[in-house]
Amino acid sequence: MTQKKRALTGIRATGQLHLGNYLGAIREALRLQQEYECLYFIADLHSLTTNRNPEALREQSLDIAASWIAFGLDTDHHLLYRQSDLPQVTELAWYLSCVTGMGYLQKAHSYKDAVAQEKEVNHGVFSYPVLMAADILLYEPDLVPVGKDQKQHVEMSRNMAGSFNAAYGKEVLKIPEPKINEEVMTIPGLDGRKMSKSYDNTIPLFAPEKVMRKKVMSLTTDSTPLEAPKELDGSGVGDLFVHFASAEEYRDLKDRLAAGGLGWGHAKDELFQAIIRELQEPAKRYRELRGDEEQLRAVLRSGGERAHAIGQKVLAEVRTTVGIPAHPFS
Ligand code: ADP
Ligand code: TRP
């Protein structure tokens, strides 16, 4: 049997997951399960650049684990693990740091944004792409599915692998491909900007239906009068509806809006129904899974152990390459 190709991605444990995370990252990553061996993890070390609340970090890590499974990650055949359970990743990050220029890291969007927004720029923020490169390169994936905003980071990881290989004159680290779903691109939030926890404009994935409905109804729309014709394409409602409705349903709503006499409120209600249709079952599973932490921890342990076996091999080769014994004390 030929070895399946490998896909890997991580989601930071911060706040509640939202529709942008689902459409931009989770839904696409899960579609790869047929074709790839998937390694999906909770990037809790990455959360520490901003998180100062240990209890919240623990809870949010389990929230993300439960979300992956609720949306259908088959953990018998794929790996779900917690980044921090495999400290080899921080060790690999160090070796990568030593072949990565300061000037290069200054170009990272994550760093530039933190500076521009006058957020705390700690060293973790600055070296964020190095840790992310280690997350990727340690497990030799073929493909890294991410939202568009993470594309640069995946490209940086390719360059770091190239720099390491060039520095030692050996093809040690495998160079992965990013996979960006161009159709999804950036999902807009309630106010029209990118949906993001940082902007407080999200529609959370597993909120009670009442809350979800209220959020959807608060989507910003123009104030075209009820009887006037309206354009669904490019509107906040349309940009979300397109991901939850069939092509026919989309066209139908588009035509009715264009004919006039249908208000945005009504269109938002149809959007809400389409979202619920897709999220209702996963939300139910999520609540069941979240209620059994022992089981969740067992899944993470098993995924972590399998990931460890892969990472050990790569790390031993990296260590030997740089002139450190393959294993400590050997
Ligand atoms: P946030 O911006 O809310 O902090 P994260 O940075 O934690 O979200 O994103 C986790 C994953 O979800 C990433 O792969 C990211 O590309 C994707 N993602 C987040 N927001 C969006 C969005 N609005 N549209 C598309 N993808 C998104
Ligand atoms: N940086 C990613 C984000 O903010 C999360 C992440 C960490 C990641 N390590 C990764 C994604 C490795 C893909 C591969 O969303």
pLDDT category, 1, cuts 50, 70, 90?
A: low
- d(CA 192, CA 221) in angstroms, rounded, equals 9
Torsion of CA 308, 310, 313, 318, to 10 degrees: -90
- Please, what is the average pLDDT of the chain? 95
> pLDDT value at position 60?
96
Rounded Cα distance, 285 and 270, in Å:
24
- Distance in Å, CA 145 to ligand 2 centroid: 10
pLDDT of 11 reads 95
- Does 178 score more than 70 pLDDT? yes
Strands 36-43, 177-180: pairing is: unpaired
Does ligand 2 have an atom closer than 6 angstroms to the CB of 10? yes
Residue range 106-128: average pLDDT? 95
Domains of the chain plus CATH, in order, are: 5-187+293-322 (3.40.50.620), 206-287 (1.10.240.10)
pLDDT value of residue 58: 97
- How far from 73 is each of 37, 38, 70, 158, 170, CA to CA, in Å? 11, 9, 7, 26, 36
Q: How far apart are the first and last CA of the chain?
A: 35
Q: Which residues fall within 8 angstroms of residue 277, CB to CB, at 6 or more apart?
A: 244
Ligand closest to 43 (CA) is 2
The answer to whether residue 307 scores a pLDDT higher than 80 is yes
Model pTM above 0.85: yes
Nearest-atom index, ligand 1, CA of 12: 7
Please provide the DSSP assignment of 52-114 as one string.
--HHHHHHHHHHHHHHHHHTT--TTTSEEEEGGG-THHHHHHHHHHTTS-HHHHTT-HHHHHH
DSSP assignment of 109-144, as one string?
HHHHHHHHTT----HHHHTHHHHHHHHHHTT--SEE
Pocket test for ligand 2, best of 6, 8, 9 (most atoms within 8 A of CB): 9
The whole-number pLDDT of residue 210 equals: 96
CA of 265 to the centre of ligand 2 (A): 36
Which numbered ligand comes closest to the C-alpha of 124? 2
pLDDT tens figures, 215-267: 999 999 988 899 999 999 999 999 999 999 999 999 999 999 999 999 999 99
Residue from 21, 146, 179 to probe ligand 2 pocket by mutation (most atoms less than 8 Å from CB): 146
Kindly report, residue by residue over 11-49, the tens digit of the pLDDT. Answer: 999 888 999 999 988 999 999 999 999 999 999 999 999
Which residues make Cβ contacts (< 8 Å) with residue 82, sequence separation at least 6?
A: 41, 42, 44, 61, 65, 300, 304
Structure tokens at 119: 């957020």
Residue 3 has pLDDT above 90, yes or no: no
Ligand nearest to the CA of 149: 1
